[in-house]
Chain A
């Protein structure tokens, strides 16, 4: 207990978050093994972690770099397709475990590379340019993947942006990326355990980053760019570092997502504009600059529409009402004041917990 108290506030919060995630993980695992989990919920376990990861990545960009990105689903898409492609190509040649580790590395690295390349010209500008460019990037990536045809046969790898026939493959050839049908037959290696471990890893990495020398510089640039320059901070360099890490984490989420489904396609709903906005909603609702909040919002808002499926057409209506109510509960000044008066702020609730622990 003393050891815990010696840590600073943000580290304490990180440990609490990890603790909650571990408890949830154990509960879910027990429910799964005893057969108490519906197949619907079971199917959601890994995607929830994947969305949480992307939300954590976006929060680094929005909350700490202070730049709006409307294309994080695009980085998720890059991570998903590059890793799924890799896994398909080497499905027979590399054993499962090292191949999946490599897929994680490749998906993350590719998303980081794309983030880096986009950020070089854009982050030199001030204003909303990043939002505009990332918005376009997300759409472009999705559309490019939809016209890509890559196949492999005994003669080698064939590539076309027209259709499957123009590849001119032998009969024994197999399709790796089949245009709008995407990648099928990716090995389903993303287990709930791996997903939770990666989520915890991302939370630790982002927490350590924002509390390091580089992270302080990034926050300084967000708070006041001119002042940051006058104390000698290389502004563009640190913006690039932060954005690249943000894109990499989104890519990691993409890898998890891709290795959890049989057929990976790039549609508006999973990697398009809708998804980018969904993830931004998780970040804003969970609290800008609050990584744990992003995870909570991602979990609740992903589960909610699925749990309400029984209500058929009304579910999106209820979903939007819940969204508005939560937003008001978190941000409206009058409600914040009411929560303050009745001891319902996060700080007050956490304080009660601590007192109980001491007793």
Chain B
């Protein structure tokens, strides 16, 4: 059984059919790419997968469980985490706290325990700090744990967003244009980081990307969207050589 099974997903905004008859099946452990021209509906698909938009038609199954139209927070608890094209960090909080917010549901203590600083508060906070630093060290961010998230350089902010998503312990990680605005060196680092987190966290990844070097370098399978419909789907090398795809997206 595949980890993510999407059948006939569609959404309309008024008269506009943004995504139509979208099918996708991702196996456990795969690195899957979603590409297509601007405005093709890629981010809309992400927003439906994470419950930010409620799909008009179709079904989404995660690990055999129906998560169609569920609340965003519940879909995260079911095992989907994501990053955003326009970075959405908690800018006024420290790098460490951003990851600790990701750990929110893995470590429990009540509001009263926090207000009165009962022993459980200190014990849990210590564990959270340890776990958060562990995740940050994968990205080499542990040395900047105490600075404000908004003061990080751009590339590091993207990595912090991935770290925060991983802190929620997801089965499926959705990356929305992780290499956007990065220079070739940063993109190369990012490719290494993605390979590393697959190994370290055993997470399945679905990513949207325009950087063809990154896509052809690390994605095992691809889906190409055009005008809200699937244009091609399959192994990366086959898809990138598809004449339709070349015509619509890559350019002849």
Q: Which residues of A are interface residues toward B (Cβ below 8 A)?
A: 205, 208-209, 211-217, 219-220, 223-224, 226-235, 241
Cβ-neighbour of A214 out of B52, B84, B114, B124 (below 8 A) = B114
> How distant is the Cα of A79 from the Cα of B73 in the complex, in angstroms?
35
- Choose one: B81, B97, B111, B113; the contact of A231 (CB below 8 Å): B81
CB atoms of A233 and B90 under 8 A apart: no
Question: Are B101 and A216 in contact, CB atoms less than 8 angstroms apart?
Answer: yes
The answer to whether A208 touches B93, judged by C-beta atoms less than 8 angstroms apart, is: no
Q: Contact: A213 with B104, CB < 8 Å?
A: yes
The answer to whether A229 and B72 have CB atoms under 8 Å apart is: yes
Task: Please tell me the size bucket of the interface on B.
Answer: 35 or more
Min CB distance B201 to A, Å, is: 15
User: Which residues of B sit under 8 angstroms from A215, Cβ to Cβ?
Assistant: 114
Select the residue from A215, A217, A226, A230 with max chain B CB neighbours within 10 A.
Answer: A230
Rounded to whole Å, the gap between the CB of A233 and the closest CB of chain B is: 6
How many angstroms between the C-alpha atoms of A205 and B113 in the bound complex? 11
B88 — which chain A residues lie within 8 A by C-beta? 224, 226-227
Mostly, the A contact residues are: helix
Contact status A230-B72, CB under 8 Å = yes
Known: A229-B52, A231-B101, A235-B73. 8 other contacts (CB 8 A): A208-B115, A213-B100, A213-B107, A213-B114, A216-B97, A220-B101, A223-B89, A223-B92
Contact call B101/A233, Cβ cutoff below 8 A: yes
Closest A residue to B114 using CB positions? A212
B111: which of A212, A223, A232, A233 is its contact (CB, 8 Å)?
Answer: A212
Q: Would you give 15 A-B contacts (Cβ < 8 Å), ordered by A?
A: A208-B115, A212-B109, A216-B100, A217-B104, A220-B93, A223-B91, A223-B93, A226-B52, A227-B88, A230-B72, A230-B81, A231-B81, A233-B101, A234-B73, A241-B111
- In contact, A212 and B115 (Cβ under 8 angstroms): yes
Residues of chain B within 8 A (CB-CB) of A214 are 110-111, 114
With A220-B93, A224-B89 given, is the CB distance from A208 to B73 under 8 Å? no
Q: Is the CB of B90 within 8 A of A219?
A: yes
Give the shortest distance, in Å, between A64 (CB) and chain B (any CB): 10
A226 neighbours in B (Cβ, 8 Å): 52, 72, 84, 88
Q: Which residues 79-135 of B have a CB within 8 angstroms of A?
A: 81-82, 84, 88-93, 97, 100-102, 104-105, 107, 109-111, 113-117, 121, 124-125, 128
Q: Within 8 Å of chain A (Cβ to Cβ): is B50?
A: yes
| CA distance in complex: A209, B121 (Å) | 11
Closest residue to A229 on the B side, CB-wise?
A: B72
List residues of chain B with CB within 8 A of the CB of A209: 111, 114-115
Contacts of B101 in A (CB 8 A): 216-217, 220, 228, 231, 233
Shortest beta-carbon distance, B76 to chain A, in Å?
Answer: 4
Q: A residues within 8 A CB of B72? A: 226, 229-230
